[in-house]
Structure 1
Amino acid sequence: MAIDASPCGKAPPGRLAGRWVPLLVVAIGLGFGLLVLFVRLHLEPVTNVDRGVVRELNEVVSPRSYLVNALNGITRLGGRPVMLWLVGVAALLLLLARRRVRLAVYLLATTAGALLLDPSVKSLVGRLRPVVEAPVAIASGNSFPSGHALGSMVVYGALLLVFLPAVRYRKLFTAAVALLVVAIGVTRIALGVHYLTDVLAGWLLGALWLSVTAYAFRLWRREAGRPVAPLDDGLEPDAAEEIKPALHSGRPVPYRWVKATEILTGWVFTFGILYVVGYLVKNHTEGTWLGRVDDSVVRWLRTSRTPTLDDASWVWSKAGDTRPILAISLVFCLIALAVWRQWRPVVFVVLTMVGELTLFLCTAASVQRDRPPVPQLDGPMPTSSFPSGHIAATMCISVAIAVLIMGRVSSRWRWFAVVLAVVITAGVALSRLYRGMHHPTDLLGAAILTALWVGLLWWALRPNARAVPVELRT
C-alpha cells in the first residue's frame, strides 16, 4: 500500500491545498452574497464609496483621449467577441488537433455557464449603471455584476487551468493572467460604466463558478479512474505533451543572427525599390499613357457605381482592413501550431505581416501620392495612395498561407488555397479601385511589395523545411 508522506509529518502540498478548497469556495460565496446584500439594501457607506471612486476616476480619464483609447483597448479583451473567439478556437484545436474531448467540453461548459450567470444575476439585482459628469463610454443593460469582470475571470481562468500543464514558467504565466483580469475590471470602473462593487462582484462570482466547474472536472477524472493532481498542475497534467503548441525541435530558424541580417538587408532593398517606383509613378506619369490609364480606370468605375455595388464593395474592402487581416493571421498561426507543431511557419507568417505593415507605412509616408481625382467612398484616409495597404496586406497573408499549404499538404485540395488567395485578392483590389481609394498603379506597388518581401522571407527562412528534433541530431 502506498502511503503519502512528507518531512516532519506534514501533509503533502496537494492534499493540504485540497482541504482548503471547500473553505475557499465558501468564503468566495459569502463575499459575493454580502455584496449583493449591500447593493440591494442601498447601504450609504457602500454607495458613497462606489460613487466617489467612479467620480474621481472620471475626472482623471475624461480629459485625456489617449487614456480613454488605452482603456478601451484593454476592456475589449474582456468583451464577449474576443473571449468567445478565444474559447471557440481553443475548443476546436483541443477537439480536432489534440483529441482532448474532456478539456474542450470543460471550456465550452464553463463559458456557457458564465454567459447564463451574467444576465440572470443582473436582472435579479436590477442596479442601474453609474452617471458621470463627462461620459467616455456607453454600456447597455444593468450594472451589477460586471459582465467583463465575470467573463474575464471565467474565460481566462479556464484557459489557464487547461493549458497550464504545457507552460514552462507557470508562476509567471499565472501572474500575467491575473494581471490581465484585474486590468479589465479596473477599466470598467475607469470608463464610468461600472461601480467598484460591480467589478468585485463579477470577480467573486467568476471565481466561484470557476471553482465549481474545476471541482466537477476533478470528480469527472476520478470517476474515469485517472489520478487527481493539485490545481497548481492544471486540470489534466497528463495532457502536457499533447497540448504543447509545438514539439521540441530545436531553434525554429537556424543561424538566426545571419538570417536577421539577411532579412533586414532585404527589407531596406525592398523599401528602396518601392520608393523609386512610387516616386516615378507620382512625378513622371502625368500626361503619359500610364497616367491616362490610371485616371481613366477609376473614372470609369466611378460612373458604374450603384447602391448595390457600393454595399458589395464595402464588404470586400473591409476584408482587407487591418483587423480582419490580423484575425486571419492569428487564427492561421494557431491552426498551424496545432497541426504541424512547428514554430517555423508561425515565424514566417508573423514576419510577413510585420514587414508588410512597416514597408507600407514607410513607403506611403515617403512617397505621399494623392488619392485618385474622384469622390472617395471611404472618406479621407490618414495615409497616402501608394502603395495600397489593403491590397498589400491581403496579398501578403494570402500568398504566405498558400506557400505553406502547398509545401506541406499533399492532397489535391492544396490548390484551393491558391484559388482562394487569387479570388480574395482580386475582390479587395477591385473594391479599392471602385471606391476611388487607389489608382491601378497603387495595386502594382502592393504586388511589388508582396513579391519581394514574401519571396525574401521564403528564401531566408525556408518555412516548409522540416526541423530535425534535437535528439536525432549528431
Structure 2
Amino acid sequence: MTAVKEAMRRPLGQFARRSVAGLAAVTGAGVAFGMLLMLVRLHWGPLYHADHEAAEWFNKLVAPHHALVTVLRAITDLGGRPVLIWLVTIAVVGLLIRRQPRLAAYLIITGVGGGILDPTLKALVGRLRPVVDVPITQAPGNSFPSGHALGSFVAYGALLLVFLPALAPRWRRPAIALVAALVFLIGLTRIALGVHFVSDVFGGWLLGVAWLGVTAYAFRLWRRERGRPVPPISEGLEPEAGEEISPAPDEEHVLEHPRSSAAELLVGWVLVLGAVYAFGMVVSYHAKGTVLDALDTRVPQWFAARRTDPLNDLSWWWSKFGDTHAILLVSLVFCPLVLAVGKRWRPVLFVVLAMFGELSLFLVTARLVERPRPPVEHLDGRLPTSSYPSGHIAATICLWSAMAIIVFARTDRWWRWLFVALAVIMPVGVATSRMYRGMHHPTDFVGAILLAAGWIGLLCWVVRPNADVRPGACWPGRRPAADRPAIGPARMHESANAGREN
C-alpha cells in the first residue's frame, strides 16, 4: 500500500517541482520586463545613451552594404505580422483537420494575446523610434517593445511547443536551437536596420518569455486537472498527439525511384525548354507577314483602343492573381492544407516542382528569346523580363492545374469541379488582363500554354501525384471503395444470381 501511494505521489511531486521552476522563470522574466519598462519610461540616462550609441554603431556598419541590407530585410520579414499570422493560421487549420482542438485553441489564445500586448504597451509607453544618420528602412508606430521580437518569440515558441512531439527525439534539440537562432536573428535585424533600440528588442523577448510561459503553464494545469500526465516541457504540450500531428507519419517513400525520377525530370525540362524556345523564336523573329504576326499586332491594338478607367482597374486586379506574390500565397496555403488532410508528401512535391520548374523555364526562355513588348502603351510600365513567354499566365496555369489534378482524384464531392473550373477561368482572366494592359502578345499566351502543358504533363508522368491515393484512404467526403456500389463482372454475377433466385 505504501508503494502504491509513493507511485501516485511521484508524478505529482515531479509536476510541482517543474511548476515551481517554470513559474520562477516566468516571474523573473515578468519582473525584468517591468523594470526595463520603468527605465525606458523614466528615460534613465545610462540606458538612453547605450541605446543611441548602439543604434549609431549598427547604422554605420550596415548602411553602406546593400547586399547585407537585403539579407537583413529578408530575415526580419520572418518576424512580421503577415508571416506569423500565416504560420499560426495554417497550423490552427491543420490541427483542426487532424482533430486536435485543444492545441488549436492554445495557438489561437497565445497568438491573439501576443498581438494584443504589442500595440497596447507601445501606446502606453509612447517611445519614438531611433533616428539615424542614414535611414535604411521605416516602420510605423512606436518603438517599445519590439513587435517583431515579441511576435516571433511567441509564435515560433508556441508552434515549437505544439509540434515538438511530432519530431523524432534526436531532432528535438536541433529544432529548439533553430527556433532560438531564428528568434535571435529577427531581433538583431530590428536593431541593425535602425527601427528599434536594443532595449526594445530585449523588452520584446522578456515579454515573450513571460506570456509564452503563462499560456504553457495554463495548458499544463488544464491537463493536470483532467487527470492527464504532465511530462517535461521539453517533450511538448501534448506528447500523445505526436502521431496525429506528424505531417506524414505513415509515408516511407515519396518517390519509388528518386534518382531515375530526377534524371527524367532533368531531361524533360530540357525538352520542354527546347520546344518553348523554338516556338518563341519563330513567332518573335520569323513570322513576319503571317497570320500569327497579324494576330500579335492587331489584338493588342484592339484592346488598347477600348481602354476605360473601370476596365483598367479591373485588369490591374485580375492581373495581380498571376503575379509572384499571389501565386506564392495560394501555394503556401494549399500545400500545408493538402498535407494536413492527406498526410502525404507526394502532392506537395508535385506542386513545389510545378512552380519551381515553371519559374526556371520562364526565366531561361525569356532571357534567350528577349522579345519586345507589344507596340502599345504599357499600363504596368517597364518590366525587367521580355514579353515571351508570359510568366503570369504560365504560373497561373501550372498552379491551378496542379491543384485541380490533386483535388479531383482525392474526393468525389461536387466542389472538386470548382477547381477544374478555376484551372480554366484563372488563366483566361489573367491572359486577357495582361493583353489588355499591353504587356503581352497573343502568342505569348500560347507559349505559356506550351510551357505549362509540357511541364505539368512531364510531372504527372514522373511524379504521379495521385499514385498514393488508395481505396479507403481518400479525403473526407469521399466514400471508400468498399462502400461504393460494385461494378464489373463481380457485380454482374451478383445481379444474375439474384435474378435466378427471383
TM-score class normalised by the smaller sequence:
over 0.9
Report the Cα offset of residue 41 of structure 1: 2.3
Task: Specify the SS of the correspondent of 1:412.
Answer: coil
Moved more, 13-22 or 314-323: 13-22
Equivalenced residues, count: 463
CA distance in 2, matches of 1:13, 1:187: 39
- Is the Cα–Cα contact under 8 Å of residues 249 and 467 in structure 1 kept in the other structure? no
CA distance in 2, matches of 1:463, 1:111: 35
User: Do residues 211 (structure 1) and 218 (structure 2) align?
Assistant: no
CA distance in 1, matches of 2:180, 2:216: 17
1:117 corresponding residue in structure 2: 117
1:68 corresponding residue in structure 2: 69
Question: Once the two structures are superposed, what CA deviation does each residue of 1:83-126 show, in whole Å capped at 9, x if it has no partner?
Answer: 1121111111211x111111111111111111111122112222
Give the TM-score, by structure 1 length: 0.95
Identity of aligned residues (%): 53
1:161 corresponding residue in structure 2: 161
1:228 corresponding residue in structure 2: 230
1:245 corresponding residue in structure 2: 247
CA distance in 2, matches of 1:87, 1:47: 35
Task: Specify the SS of the correspondent of 1:373.
Answer: coil
- Is the Cα–Cα contact under 8 Å of residues 410 and 469 in structure 2 kept in the other structure? no
2:103 corresponding residue in structure 1: 103
Flag the 1:269–1:232 CA change in 2: closer, same or farther, 3 A. Answer: same
- Is the Cα–Cα contact under 8 Å of residues 15 and 230 in structure 2 kept in the other structure? no
Task: Specify the SS of the correspondent of 2:415.
Answer: helix
1:141 corresponding residue in structure 2: 141
Which amino acid in 1 is paired with 2:45?
E
Which amino acid in 1 is paired with 2:86?
W
1:399 corresponding residue in structure 2: 401
Which amino acid in 2 is paired with 1:461?
V
Question: Once the two structures are superposed, what CA deviation does each residue of 1:261-302 show, in whole Å capped at 9, x if it has no partner?
Answer: 111100011111111111111111122221011110001000
1:352 corresponding residue in structure 2: 354
Report the Cα offset of residue 19 of structure 1: 3.7
Flag the 1:85–1:396 CA change in 2: closer, same or farther, 3 A. Answer: same
2:129 corresponding residue in structure 1: 129
CA distance in 1, matches of 2:394, 2:16: 57
2:315 corresponding residue in structure 1: 313
User: Do residues 459 (structure 1) and 461 (structure 2) align?
Assistant: yes
2:424 corresponding residue in structure 1: 422
Report the Cα offset of residue 412 of structure 1: 3.0
1:177 corresponding residue in structure 2: 179
Report the Cα offset of residue 224 of structure 1: 2.1
Question: Once the two structures are superposed, what CA deviation does each residue of 1:29-67 show, in whole Å capped at 9, x if it has no partner?
Answer: 121122112212222221111111111111122222222
Runs of 4+ in 1 over 3 A off after TM superposition: 2-5, 11-19
CA distance in 2, matches of 1:277, 1:16: 72
Which amino acid in 1 is paired with 2:240?
D
CA RMSD of aligned residues (A): 1.7
Structure 1 portions without partners, runs of 5+: 469-474
Match for residue 331 of structure 1 among 333, 336, 339? 333
User: Do residues 410 (structure 1) and 412 (structure 2) align?
Assistant: yes
Which amino acid in 2 is paired with 1:77?
L
Flag the 1:279–1:113 CA change in 2: closer, same or farther, 3 A. Answer: same
Report the Cα offset of residue 3 of structure 1: 4.3
Report the Cα offset of residue 377 of structure 1: 0.8
Flag the 1:12–1:345 CA change in 2: closer, same or farther, 3 A. Answer: farther
Report the Cα offset of residue 18 of structure 1: 3.8
Give 1:265-304 correspondences, 5 Å limit: 265-304=267-306
CA distance in 2, matches of 1:59, 1:136: 11
- Is the Cα–Cα contact under 8 Å of residues 390 and 447 in structure 2 kept in the other structure? yes
Structure 2 portions without partners, runs of 5+: 471-502
Give the TM-score, by structure 2 length: 0.89
Larger Rg: 2
1:369 corresponding residue in structure 2: 371
Task: Specify the SS of the correspondent of 1:225.
Answer: coil
User: Do residues 83 (structure 1) and 78 (structure 2) align?
Assistant: no
Moved more, 258-267 or 284-293: 284-293
